[in-house]
Amino acid sequence: MFRDIYDVIVVGGGHAGAEAAAAAANMGTTTLLITMNLQNIGQMSCNPAMGGIAKGQIVREIDALGGYSGIVSDSSAIQFKMLNRSKGPAMWSPRVQSDRMMFAQHWRNKLEQTEHLDFYQEMVTDLLFEKDSIAGVVTSLGIEIKAKSVVLTSGTFLNGLIHIGEKQFGGGRAGESASFGLTERLIERGFNSGRMKTGTPPRVDGRSLDYSKMIEQPGDSNPSKFSYLDDSHTLKTQRSCHMTYTSPVVHDLLREGFDRSPMFNGRIKSIGPRYCPSVEDKINRFAEKDRHQLFVEPEGWDTVEVYVNGFSTSLPEEVQFKALSAVVGFEKVKFFRPGYAIEYDFFQPTQLKHSLETKLVSGLFFAGQINGTTGYEEAASQGIMAGINAHNHVVQKESFILSREEAYIGVLIDDLITKGTEEPYRMFTSRAEYRTLLRQDNADLRLTPRSHDMGLASDKRMRLLETKSQKTSALLRFFEKTSVVPEDINPILTKKDSNPVKQSLKMGKVLARPNLTIADFLTLNTVSDFVAKEAIDTATLEQVEIQIKYAGYIAKEKLQADKLSSLEHVPIPKDFDYEKVKSLSIEARQKLNKIQPVTIAQASRISGVSPSDLSVLLVYMGR
């Protein structure tokens, strides 16, 4: 039934598992994807959308590395929005509303077209070990499958427990059984586990809603896309979302069920996501607010099923229905299924290396919600990194690590393994100290060369990047060297309420003004002729405008990043005994012994390690 031994086994077919399997197989290693239901590969368990604040940057980074999340998102999108356009480009974040069924179908198709990748449907209940190394997995049928490395991407399935009011039952998500055995086995090997909670809102029948009472939320008039590849296309037509609000009446109806809420009666003991609270948690914590936004999101092109974003709840189903019926536009609502909360096991990510390999077991990798994260994008990014590093482990190559100044993915993984998490971790732009460098528009410039060098990003992707880089450089040189005379530029400046010029100036200097855009210059014949001759596209125009306008900020962040990177090159010996360094504070010794940082820079990011502690360590490292 199986190979004698696989290079990589990926357990779980969610966003992390799909990316891990694709990455490992595309790099040439024999890979087996084992999941409990092959029909649910790439399933969107919660909201039917990809991207958003900081998450959109992650999807672009996955695409730049050669992953599939961006391509699948583009091919199944029903709406596209670039969020935060009113702010600086470091904050711009792409987001798509997705066709849920199409998304999963396209993921399945991409994986089935991947060489070196096999599939098997069953539950993995145990792991095989050889001393301190992974040796394979055991299924619920007792089948042993050997492997040189294993990636666990169990999502919310490890001992999953679903709550709806006072009812609770085992499950990984609605309609699917939980996974048992792995947590206990890992604890036996010395791992520390914990419990986390997440939730989801009711799905309702769109035919029962009155959209005329809601506020329409259309997509962008000129939509973009996620993938940098040119065989991915922008949307020609889009489906609108809608917005409505809760009210004091809705809140009072929800409060009637608080005595039966697992959130408040002690049935749920784990911590849920801070930035995506349930509706009962919102009205309890923010009692002074008399309303909260609800986004009414269609689940696809052809289905009438609707996702009620903002109404995540685990209250009894009759309370959910009664309260939602009091929302404007939902007076005649019909449920497809109620909302619920789910508790599941995770493993504190401080037990991992930067490669996502576990410190205790060689060749065993964790990715996704097993590491305490929340969100498709966070999971997918860990998946591709775990898949890459599982391959590298097998072929005995150095681990592929992204630093904090290289990618949001680097920030995410460093945060997890250095600080750990006590609640489901979600990425935000504010978590990245170099977010001007880590924009959504330049992920390919940052990451594709590195990925291509190790054999994941395709030659085609690299050729597209080289063309983009050449055109960007040509247009930058043009703006930096070409002058514009007052009689040509002043009409534009006057129209944009900008002070006119009295002498010729370089175009780049004029474009740097805050109230001008590169589109303003396209009315000049010299610019439009150059753009046409060089076949420069919109993305290149945007790239040049950002580089010119934010040159000072970019240079400053780059300098800061270079200074910090010098500490990244000061290694700390493996198993360094911090107890012998009596000059360190007690807290620093405890934290450093627990985390075992590999560089001084990583040590500097550990909570409780002070600048004076770092000075002591630098002396010990001979600096």
For residue range 326-381, list pLDDT tens digits in order.
Answer: 999 999 999 999 999 999 999 999 999 999 999 999 999 999 999 999 999 999 99
pLDDT computed for residue 271 by the predictor: 86
pLDDT computed for residue 322 by the predictor: 98
Instruction: Name the nearest CA neighbour of 232 among 19, 460, 17.
Output: 460
Question: pLDDT band at residue 391, thresholds of 50, 70 and 90?
Answer: very high
Q: What is the pLDDT of residues 467-487, one digit of tens each?
A: 999 999 999 999 999 999 999
pLDDT computed for residue 575 by the predictor: 83
Task: State the Cα–Cα distance between residues 20 and 154, nearest whole angstrom.
Answer: 12
Instruction: Name the nearest CA neighbour of 103 among 50, 60, 32.
Output: 50
pTM reported for the whole predicted model: 0.93
The mean per-residue pLDDT over the stretch 44-61 comes to 97
pLDDT computed for residue 528 by the predictor: 94
Question: In the predicted model, what is the mean pLDDT of the chain?
Answer: 94
- Give yes or no for residue 160 having a pLDDT over 90: yes
Residue linked to tokens 């990244």: 568
Other beta carbons within 10 angstroms of residue 166's beta carbon come to 13
> Dmax of the chain from CA atoms?
83
430 contact partners, CB below 8 Å, separation of at least 6: none
CA separation, residue 265 to residues 165, 251, 254, 259, 279 (Å): 10, 18, 15, 6, 16
Q: What is the pLDDT of residues 119-157, one digit of tens each?
A: 999 999 999 999 999 999 999 999 999 999 999 999 999
Instruction: Name the nearest CA neighbour of 14 among 215, 183, 153.
Output: 153
Task: State the Cα–Cα distance between residues 617 and 199, nearest whole angstrom.
Answer: 43
The mean per-residue pLDDT over the stretch 501-505 comes to 93
- Give yes or no for residue 622 having a pLDDT over 80: no
Other beta carbons within 10 angstroms of residue 233's beta carbon come to 11
Q: What is the pLDDT of residues 511-554, one digit of tens each?
A: 999 889 999 999 999 999 999 999 999 989 999 999 999 999 99
Q: What is the pLDDT of residues 275-316, one digit of tens each?
A: 889 999 999 989 899 999 999 999 999 999 999 999 999 999
Task: State the Cα–Cα distance between residues 312 and 276, nearest whole angstrom.
Answer: 8
Strands 167-170 and 340-347: unpaired
pLDDT computed for residue 623 by the predictor: 58
pLDDT computed for residue 612 by the predictor: 83
Task: State the Cα–Cα distance between residues 605 and 601, nearest whole angstrom.
Answer: 7
**What is the full DSSP assignment across 351-375?**
GB-TTSBBSSSBTEEE-SGGGTB-S
pLDDT computed for residue 231 by the predictor: 86
Query: For the chain, what percent of residues have pLDDT higher than 90?
Result: 83
Instruction: Name the nearest CA neighbour of 120 among 106, 137, 133.
Output: 137
Task: State the Cα–Cα distance between residues 392 and 401, nearest whole angstrom.
Answer: 11
Q: Specify the 3-state DSSP secondary structure of 458.
A: coil
Q: Specify the 3-state DSSP secondary structure of 316.
A: coil
Q: What is the pLDDT of residues 559-616, one digit of tens each?
A: 988 887 788 778 898 888 899 888 898 888 988 988 889 888 889 888 788 878 888 8
Q: Is 407 in contact with 446 (CB distance < 8 Å)? A: yes
- In eight-state DSSP terms, residue 398 is P
